[in-house]
């Protein structure tokens, strides 16, 4: 299991060898890129095997070509399904297509363009033949639909990325015209249609060879970088950052943000150094994550070990995952900030420095995020909006301006422009990183220093998330958890005050269970992207009490798993 806080006891292998978490990757840790790419084309999934079918989780379809879960067949079928879906919905505008730096993103991109071209769907691709962060696609969709939908039709998007997942993985997700992650109404339809196409024979899907597809009138080069970077002043006080002369280290972890940080530095004349600028599909420069895997998780102290080690070289250091929808904040005084701590600080700062935001706009958080956020929001006299895990729950509110900020404990968030209008409806790790620099420039405090003030005012909590392996059947059992599974009346010495399987903000199912007392809570749910389950827990009584909460939570999960 993983203990998320940096002070946890390191895992030790049964043979007595200490885990290499946080250590540089070695040759034995690297995936064979040629083998991975060959498998994309050569291995054909069996649609009768559930593990080899198209499956859209919380962040689209993910898998690996080596396990026949992310292959040419999947992408051809999923793209054709999106074509069929958008046709049924009457979307006639362009589809913005972006990809990250994972090895499988390149062949999947080519397959996607071939299918779109054969269906005469207008596709907007990067004019640099480069990589495109997830938030940039969201920003492009919203901008088009605000300015050009009447004349050109509604636009949507495809992002080819498995986010922070290991180098052997690929990912494929769909963003409808609202610009954010597709809801289950869309993903269920696309998933079912794609699997039908697999069963019927994916080879019959029409495709235009990419050499020709790239030269068709419907395939258009689009300057994603300029459209996004030149608009940043509307959401972040870039002038304050420049005037303060803050030295910033930005680590894209070899991902899609690498050129964007260069562009941001150049346009706004910042003292910014891009750390780890190398693009390597094997991600050989990474330090190993908690389980000795290469994972571009900018919220993990192990994956971010090299940037944390360099923290004294900058006034502020920031990181992003491979598609830049997540953020990691590193300060000289505290190292890598806990994602919950930074969310609390970011919300506190924004509510005090965005006078044009609507007073009625709510502050969104997932129900597995810290109660410190609740207290910060209450102190500002604002309304909390608490939803299940998944950024899709914030999309409508951000788009309408009725939600000013939406954030997840996994270091993903976005917020409104300075004038109170929508910026993005998908997570944006770039603006959350820049916000940390704005805070330092405007207040003179690092985000971690400001958090110390908030903790003194509202109380300090102990929070952790543990992950453990779970197969699809076990994950399905966890998803069915409800109040009837809790037969105890006490949790870690306190009476249980609330047991819920739905979120208080919108009454949507949380896909698991949350149990609360006056002094603590835990939530258990299966991961939507990996074969693990997660237990989130928080205590107002310190680390020992937190450990007791976690122990009793694990006992409940174990009883369900049998």
Q: What angle do CA 387, 391, 393 make, to 5 degrees?
A: 45
Q: Kindly state the DSSP code that residue 552 receives in the 8-state scheme.
A: H
User: Contact, 155 vs 141, CB < 8 A?
Assistant: yes
Reduced to 3 states (helix: H, G, I; strand: E, B; else coil), residue 231 is coil
Identify each DSSP E strand in 27-112 by its residue range: 56-57, 60-64, 95-99
Alpha-carbon torsion, ordered 221, 222, 223, 227, to 10 deg: 180
Contact, 181 vs 173, CB < 8 A?
Answer: yes
Rounded CA separation 47/166 (Å): 24
Q: State both tokens at 372.
A: 């410190």
In angstroms, the CA 558 to CA 457 distance is 38
Compute CA 287 distance to the chain's CA centroid, rounded to the nearest angstrom: 20
Query: What distance in Å separates the CA atoms of residue 501 and residue 544, rounded to the nearest whole number?
Result: 27
Question: Residue 468's closest CA among 11, 9, 20, 30?
Answer: 11
Q: Residue 381: CA atoms inside 13 Å, Cβ hemisphere, count?
A: 4
Question: Is the C-alpha dihedral spanning 395, 400, 402, 406 positive or negative?
Answer: positive
Q: What residues are paired with 174 via a beta bridge?
A: 158
Contact 287, 23 (CB under 8 A): yes
* Antiparallel, parallel or unpaired: β 384-387 and 362-366: parallel
What tokens were used for 278? 């190398």
Residues with a known catalytic role: 163
Cβ atoms 336, 330 nearer than 8 A: yes
In angstroms, the Cα distances linking 267 to 228, 229, 252, 320 are 12, 8, 18, 20
Report the C-alpha gap between 275 and 287 in whole angstroms: 14
What are the CB-based long-range contacts (under 8 Å, 24+) for 47-52? Answer: 47/195, 47/198, 47/199, 50/472, 51/472
Contact (CB, 8 A) for 66 and 103: no
Looking up tokens 């913005």, which residue turns up? 96
Residues 6+ apart with CB under 8 A from 424: 135, 138, 139, 142, 179, 180, 398, 414, 431
- Residue 442, token pair as written in the block: 């405007």
Instruction: Output the six-digit token pair for 333.
Output: 């005084």
In residues, how long is the chain? Answer: 562
């Amino acid at each position: 299991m993983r203990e998320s806080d940096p002070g946890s006891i390191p895992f030790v292998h049964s043979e007595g060898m200490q885990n290499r978490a946080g250590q540089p990757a070695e040759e034995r840790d690297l995936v064979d890129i040629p083998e991975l790419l060959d498998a994309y084309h050569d291995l054909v999934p069996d649609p009768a095997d559930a593990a080899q079918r198209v499956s859209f989780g919380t962040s689209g379809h993910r898998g690996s070509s080596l396990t026949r879960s992310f292959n040419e067949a999947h992408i051809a079928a999923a793209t054709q399904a999106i074509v069929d879906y958008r046709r049924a919905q009457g979307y006639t505008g362009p589809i913005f297509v972006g990809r990250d730096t994972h090895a499988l993103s390149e062949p999947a991109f080519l397959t996607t363009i071939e299918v779109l071209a054969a269906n005469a769907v207008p596709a907007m691709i990067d004019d640099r033949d480069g990589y495109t962060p997830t938030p940039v696609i969201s920003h492009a969709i919203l901008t088009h639909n605000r300015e050009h939908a009447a004349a050109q039709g509604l636009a949507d998007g495809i992002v080819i990325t498995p986010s922070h997942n290991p180098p052997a993985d690929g990912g494929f997700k769909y963003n409808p015209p609202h610009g954010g992650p597709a809801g289950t109404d869309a993903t269920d339809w696309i998933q079912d249609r794609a699997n039908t196409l697999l069963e019927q024979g994916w080879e019959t899907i029409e495709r235009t060879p990419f050499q020709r597809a790239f030269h068709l009138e419907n395939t258009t080069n689009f300057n994603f970088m300029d459209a996004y970077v030149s608009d940043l002043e509307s959401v972040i006080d870039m002038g304050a950052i420049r005037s303060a002369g803050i030295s910033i280290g930005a680590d894209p972890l070899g991902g899609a943000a690498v050129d964007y940080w260069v562009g941001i530095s150049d346009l706004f004349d910042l003292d910014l150094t891009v750390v780890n600028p190398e693009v390597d599909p094997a991600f050989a420069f990474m330090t190993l994550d908690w389980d000795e895997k290469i994972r571009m998780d900018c919220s993990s102290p192990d994956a971010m070990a090299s940037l944390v080690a360099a923290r004294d070289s900058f006034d502020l250091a920031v990181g992003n995952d491979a598609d830049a929808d997540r953020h990691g904040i590193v300060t000289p005084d505290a190292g890598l900030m806990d994602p919950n701590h930074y969310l609390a600080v970011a919300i506190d700062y924004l509510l005090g420095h965005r006078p044009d935001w609507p007073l009625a706009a709510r502050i969104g958080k997932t129900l597995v995020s810290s109660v410190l956020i609740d207290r910060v929001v209450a102190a500002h006299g604002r309304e909390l909006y608490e939803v299940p895990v998944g950024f899709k729950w914030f999309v409508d509110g951000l788009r309408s301006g009725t939600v000013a900020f939406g954030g997840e404990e996994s270091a993903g968030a976005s917020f409104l422009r300075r004038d109170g209008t929508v910026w993005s409806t998908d997570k944006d790790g770039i603006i959350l990183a820049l916000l940390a620099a704005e805070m330092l420039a405007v207040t003179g405090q690092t985000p971690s220093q400001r958090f110390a003030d908030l903790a003194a005012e509202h109380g300090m909590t102990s929070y952790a998330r543990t992950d453990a392996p779970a197969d699809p059947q076990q994950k399905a059992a966890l998803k069915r958890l409800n109040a009837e599974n809790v037969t105890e009346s006490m949790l870690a010495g306190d009476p249980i005050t609330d047991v819920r399987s739905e979120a208080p903000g919108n009454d949507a199912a949380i896909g698991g269970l949350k149990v609360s007392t006056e002094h603590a809570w835990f939530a258990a749910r299966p991961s939507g992207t990996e074969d693990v389950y997660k237990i989130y827990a928080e205590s107002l009584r310190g680390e020992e009490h937190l450990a007791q909460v976690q122990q009793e939570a694990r006992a409940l999960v174990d009883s369900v798993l049998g």
